[in-house]
Amino acid sequence: MELEVVEDVRGRLEDVAVPGTNKISQASPIALPMASHKLIKKITNLIKSTLEIDPKALIRSGLKDVQSSLRKNEKGIVVFAGDVTPIEIMCHLPAVCEELDVPYCYVPDKETLGNAMGVKRGSLMVLIKKHAKNKALYDDVAERINNLPPPW
């Protein structure tokens, strides 16, 4: 069963599709702003470099960890998977991120986040915190996410 993408959304997502795949068609229509292919590579590099520094302190992965971290006002970049089903389990979190001024974006699928984290399973979402050793890459990714078109 293939999900239908709304026309307005399709126009914004045309440069997102990963070459050779059709992962964007699996993403939810509310998965906006969607990261471009180039930004997905930068996010993956940021996650991998952050894991090398201190994975326990700088990375939060999964619905429960990210949600509790946001409640505790922890700052960072939040990356959501676009193919979460049912979407109702996490559709409130982008609004929470906007209230807390936390930059966020979507990637097409859970496997992208899982592979970046170095695990075999997919991950619904990741919160990446800033550290002095990854400051340049973190700031670059945060700026690119803030420059994405707003979802409304």
How far is it, in rounded angstroms, from Cα 94 to Cα 105?
9
Q: Spell 114-128 as b/e; 16+ CB within 10 A means b.
A: bbbbeeeebbbbbbb
Q: Please tell me the predicted confidence (pLDDT) of residue 22.
A: 63
In this structure, what token pair is assigned to residue 48? 């991998």
Amino acid letter, 5: V
Condensed to tens digits (0 to 9), the pLDDT of residues 109-146 reads: 999 999 999 999 999 999 999 999 999 999 999 999 99
Please enumerate in sequence order all residues whose Cβ is within 8 A of that of 136, keeping only pairs 6 or more positions apart, or say none. Answer: none
Query: Containing H/E element for 98?
Result: helix 93-99
What per-residue confidence (pLDDT) applies to 20?
A: 42
Pair 129, 59: CB distance under 8 Å: yes
DSSP 54: -
Cα separation, 23 vs 34, in Å, equals: 12
| CA 140/CA 152 separation, integer angstroms | 24
Supply the pTM of this predicted model.
Answer: 0.83
pLDDT in tens, 59-97: 999 999 999 999 999 999 999 999 999 999 999 999 999
**Residue 84: both structure tokens together:** 């979460």
Q: Look at residue 7 in the predicted model and tell me its pLDDT.
A: 44
Rounded CA separation 134/115 (Å): 19
Instruction: Supply the mean pLDDT for the chain.
Output: 87
pLDDT digits (tens, 9 = 90+) for 20-41: 456 666 788 888 999 999 999 9
**Tokens encoding 142:** 């945060």
CA distance linking residue 88 with residue 22, whole number of Å: 23
Where are the domains positioned within the chain? Answer: 7-146
CATH level 2 (architecture), domain 7-146: 2-Layer Sandwich (3.30)
pLDDT of residue 1: 44
- What confidence score (pLDDT) does residue 28 get? 85
